[in-house]
Amino acid sequence: MRRTKRTLALFLGGLALMLASACGQTAAVPAAQVEPQPTQTARVVTEIVTQVVTQVVVVTPEATPTAPPDVAATEVAAAQVVAAQATADAEQTAAAVPTATIPPTATIPPTATPQPTLGPAMGQITNGGNMRETPSGTVIGQVCPGDTVTYLHRQSEWITIRIDQIGADCVPDRVKIGNIGWVHQSLVTTPQTNIPTTTPAPTPEVQAFNQTQTIGPIRNAFANEQYSSEITLIRVRWSQGSRFSPADSGKVYALATLRVKNLGPNTQRNVSSMMFKALDVRGALNDADLYYGDDCEIDWVDLTAGGAIEGCIAFEVPDNGKLSLIYAPYQYENLTPGRYLSFTIRP
């Protein structure tokens, strides 16, 4: 800009000298003459001046007033800069932490179900099937795969088991924990120890007991009488049955000979086989059975004070396992201690 002004000043100075020279020449012309035309030199000077002025105007733009700073815009811009820097720092931190990835083919193995610890006499059900009262006998319920059992007895291809732990349900009528019964050996794992082998009681087999127990006083509310009873188990004979009363498969008849004596003071009424039951290894109370072919029966009588009767009562029971003879004068009650008598026939 300074250089342009300096050039302009030199040019104007030269122009002034030229004009002064031209004026000197013009002064010699008489006043009466016509107004002279501009000389060639004047026209050239005018064009040059016009071009110079135009260039100066174009080259030197007008000053544009500067707007006052926008404080709000400045604050927003500063906030944007801070946010951008924070974002960049976070991205750099995330990039520095490695991210664990699972390969596409990787699978998470399922959690294994804990298996019970099995003792030598224990096993598990491998195939669902029937639990029976006796080998090939009446079905108690269903065992399911995964049930844990304890082996008790073996008879040929049949095993007595106790259910210790049950697995998932397989059928609605499945057995419960504590149930005891017979299953075929194909339903269970192979026993890892010898299981006691049982065989049906020989026929006939007579066991002498001659055991006596008493109970009372017993009050007969209907007759308003009371009495005490003396029960003697004399002997038990085992039988596979007769032609007319054969024992079911896996069962045997226990023929109990016993004596009932009334110790008074009043009459003991309705003495019969209905007062006696056989409690077997399953926890079942078996009623007396009709037995044809052998002399095994007892009369239905009333006994006065001091009276006694002897007879035989037959029970069809499992051919192995614990067995007890129960005298239950309170026929419609549970087996409450002190209100019944028990004789162990088979431990």
Domain assignment of residue 212, yes or no: yes
Q: Closest Cα to residue 277, out of 330, 205, 240?
A: 330
pTM: 0.47
Same-domain pairing of 248 and 315: yes
DSSP codes joined into one string, 29-44? S-TTSPPPPPPHHHHH
Cα of 264 vs its chain's centroid, Å: 63
CATH number of the CATH domain containing 179: 2.30.30
Domain assignment of residue 98, yes or no: no
Same-domain pairing of 177 and 218: no
Same-domain pairing of 181 and 253: no
- What contacts 190, CB < 8 A, 6 or more positions away? 123
CA dist., res. 119 & res. 115, Å (int) = 13
For the CA atoms of 236, 240, 242, 245, the dihedral, rounded to the nearest 10 degrees, stands at 90
pLDDT score, position 268: 95
Q: Which two tokens stand for residue 343?
A: 């004789």
Domain assignment of residue 72, yes or no: no
Q: Where are the alpha helices (DSSP H) in 213-324?
A: none
CATH number of the CATH domain containing 332: 2.60.40.1240
Which residue type occupies 164?
D
Q: Which two tokens stand for residue 108?
A: 């998470």
Domain assignment of residue 77, yes or no: no
Which domain, by its residues, includes 169? Answer: 122-187
* Number of domains the chain contains: 2
Length of the chain: 347
Contact in structure between 259 and 303 (CB atoms under 8 Å)? no
Domain assignment of residue 267, yes or no: yes
Q: Where are the alpha helices (DSSP H) in the chain?
A: 2-26, 40-59, 71-96
Domain assignment of residue 280, yes or no: yes
Half-sphere exposure of 139 (CA within 13 A, CB side): 8
pLDDT score, position 59: 43
Tens digit of pLDDT at every position of the chain (347 positions) = 555 555 565 666 666 656 555 545 444 444 444 444 555 544 544 555 455 444 444 444 455 555 555 545 555 455 565 556 655 565 555 455 455 455 555 565 555 555 556 677 889 999 988 998 878 777 888 999 999 999 988 888 889 999 999 888 888 888 889 889 889 989 999 888 888 876 655 545 788 999 999 999 999 888 899 999 999 999 999 988 877 888 888 899 999 999 999 999 999 999 999 999 999 998 999 999 988 877 889 999 999 999 999 999 999 999 888 999 999 998 888 888 889 999 999 98
Q: Closest Cα to residue 241, out of 311, 294, 199, 287?
A: 294
Q: Is 300 left (phi over 0), alpha (psi -120 to 50) or beta?
A: beta
Rg (Cα) of the chain, in Å, rounded? 63
Same-domain pairing of 181 and 223: no
Same-domain pairing of 212 and 330: yes
CA dist., res. 316 & res. 304, Å (int) = 31
pLDDT score, position 58: 43
Beta strands in the chain (DSSP E): 122-124, 129-132, 139-143, 148-155, 158-165, 180-184, 205-220, 225-239, 251-265, 268-271, 276-279, 285-287, 301-303, 308-318, 323-327, 341-346
Same-domain pairing of 182 and 235: no
pLDDT score, position 336: 87
pLDDT score, position 202: 52
Contact in structure between 302 and 270 (CB atoms under 8 Å)? yes
